[in-house]
Structure 1
C-alpha cells in the first residue's frame, strides 16, 4: 500500500543529519541516473517541472509547479509531489510533499557545501529572502553549525521580522535588516534564496565568506551582482552543485563566467578538486538527484 505523506509527515522523514548522510551516499553511488529535467513554461509566468531520477533500488519523479506570482499570497510558490517507485516491481512506494522535499533537500545541499567549504561556520549568518527556503536554510544551519547570530533581509519587511522571530525561538540573536549589502562585511555565512528576479546582493564579500546562492536556476534569473561573482572567481573559489549548472546558473552566466569551469559539489565531497582560498561562492541550481537522495532517506 502506498504511503501518502503530507508536509509534516514528509519533514519528519527528512531530518537534516540523515539528509546530509544521504547526499554523501548518493554522490558516491555509481548506479544513480538523472535524466535532464523538463521545465515547461506556463501561461502567466509559472513553470511546470518534471524531474526524474533513479538508482538500482528506487525511481522517483518530482512533479511540481513554480509560480513566482504566488509570493506573498495564500498560495505557495512551489506545489506538487515526489512519487517514489520500487525499481524491481514497479510498485509505487511513497508520495512525498513536493515543497517540503524541495525546501529541505535544497537547504541540506547548502549545508553540506558549507560544511565542506566555509572557513567560518560560526557566522554570523545573513539570509536574503524570508520565504520557505529562507526558513529551511535557517533551520538547517542553526541545527548543524555553531551559529549565534543571524541577519535577515527580505523585500517584505514583515517577512523578515517573522523569520527573525523564528531565529530567536531557535536561541539565536536575530536582526531584520533592510539592506543586506550593509551587513555583508559582518557575515562570513550568506544564503540568498529569493525569487531571483533582480540583484539583491552586490557588495564584495569578506575574504572568509561562504555564499550559497540558491534562488536563480535559469540563465535569466539573478540574485548576485556580476562584480561579486567575478570577485569570488578571481580572489576565491566558485563551486556549482552539478554539471547541469553550466546552462542554468544565471548569476554566473550574467557575470560572463563559465559554470563548466568550476568544481562541482560531488568533486569537493569526494576530494577531487582543489583547495579553498578567499571567498567561496556556492551556486546551487537544483537537481533531481537531490530529490532522489531525499526519497532514499524517506524510504529508509
Structure 2
C-alpha cells in the first residue's frame, strides 16, 4: 500500500484533470455504476465534527475520514483510504485535507466552466485559507484567470494569498472592503467559516461558488443574493441537509438544480450561485485519478 504525503497527493491531482474525472464520475453515477450513501456526520464536543464518507465503483472503493475543528490550525484533518472493490486490498492512503481542498476547488471549477456567464473575468475570493488558495489555483489552471482580489477578516492572510497569486504571475490584490472588487469581479468564491453572511450583494452576471458553510445554521451568502440567482448545487441530497445559505433563504427546492443535470443543459443567463457541501463522489474521483497516475492496475 502506498502512503502518500500531502505533497505527493497534490501532485497526483491537477485541477483540470480532476474536474474532468468528476464529470465522468457523475456520468457513471447517473448510470448506476457508482454508489455513495449519505455521509455520516457526528458532532463532537467544542463545536467539532467527525465525517465518514464512503463510495464505490466496480474497481475502487474509498472511505474518507475527516475531522473539522474550526478553532484549530489546521481546522480540517483527514485521510482517504483507497482499496480494490473485488478484494478489499488496500492500495493507497491519500492525505485527506489535500484531497478535500483540491476536489472541492475542482468541483467549483467544473461548475464555473459549465455555468459562469463570464468565466474569463476577474476573480474575487472571500476567505484566505486553504480553500481560498485551492480555488485560486484551480481557476487559474482551468479558466486562465489572471486577476484576483482577496478579501479576508485577517488583512495579513489576505496579503499573503495576494502575494502567492503574484508569485503565480497573476495580478493579485488584497482589499479591505468588498465594494470596489464587486464592481469588477465576474467570478466570486466564498470560502469562509463565517456563521453569518459576508456576501450581501453581487453583480447581476456573476458566478458565485459558495463552499465554506457546511452546516444548516451557517451561511456565507445573504438571502437576497440567493433569491436573485439561478441556483445549482453539487448534490441535492447534501444541499437539502446542510446548505445553510439556501435553507436560511427559504428557497424553492424545485428551482434548485444539481450539477449533474447542468452539465447537459444550456448555460443560464444572469447571476448564478453554485453551492457545494461536499460528497464522497468527489473523493472517489480523486482516488480514480490518483491511482491512475500511480499506474496501479
For this structure pair, what is the TM-score category when the shorter chain's length is used for normalisation?
over 0.9
Deviation sequence 1:128-164 (CA, Å, 0-9, x none): 0000000000011011213221100011110000000
For 1:181 and 1:265, how far apart are their aligned partners in 2?
Answer: 29
Distance 1:3 1:261 in 2: 44
Relative to 1, partners in 2 of residues 1:38 and 1:260: Cα closer, same or farther, differing over 3 Å? Answer: farther
Task: Tell me if 1:202 matches 2:200.
Answer: yes
Deviation at 1:275, TM superposition (A): 4.4
> In 1, Cα distance between the equivalents of 2:22 and 2:70?
28
Q: Tell me the number of residue pairs that the alignment of Structure 1 and Structure 2 aligns.
A: 288
| Match for residue 46 of structure 1 among 45, 48, 51 | 48
Give, in whole Å, the separation in 1 of the partners of 2:127 and 2:76. Answer: 15
Residue 145 of structure 2 aligns with which residue?
Answer: 147
For the residue of structure 2 that corresponds to 1:69, the secondary structure is coil
Q: TM-score, normalized by length of structure 1?
A: 0.93
Provide structure 2 residue ranges, at least 5 long, that are not aligned to the other structure: 293-297
SS in structure 1 opposite 2:216? coil
Coordinate RMSD, CA, aligned: 1.2
Q: 2:285 aligns with which of 277, 284, 293?
A: 293
1:113 aligned residue: 111
Secondary structure of 2:46's partner? coil
Q: How does 1:86-101 map to 2 (within 5 A)?
A: 86-101=84-99
- What are the superposed Cα offsets for residues 250-280 of structure 1, whole Å, 9 maximum, x if unpaired? 00110111345311100011x1x56402111
Asked if 1:137 corresponds to 2:130, the answer is: no
Shift >4 Å, 4+ stretches: none
Query: Which residue does the alignment assign to 2:295?
Result: none
CA shift, 1:112, in A, is 0.4
Q: Distance in 1 between matches of 2:194 and 2:81?
A: 28
Runs of 5+ in structure 1 lacking a partner?
Answer: none
- Once the two structures are TM-superposed, the CA of residue 243 in structure 1 deviates from its matched residue by 1.5
Is 1:263 matched up with 2:262?
Answer: no
SS of the counterpart of 1:28? helix
Residue in 2 that maps onto 1:242: 235
Contact 2:83 2:89 in 1 (8 A): yes
| Deviation string, structure 1 residues 198-233 (Cα, Å, up to 9, x no partner) | 211102x2222100000112211110111111111x
Give the TM-score normalised by the residue count of structure 2: 0.94
Q: Does 1:217 align with 2:214?
A: yes
Give the stretch that moved more between structures: 241-250 or 47-56.
Answer: 241-250
Q: Tell me the SS of whatever aligns to 2:50.
A: strand
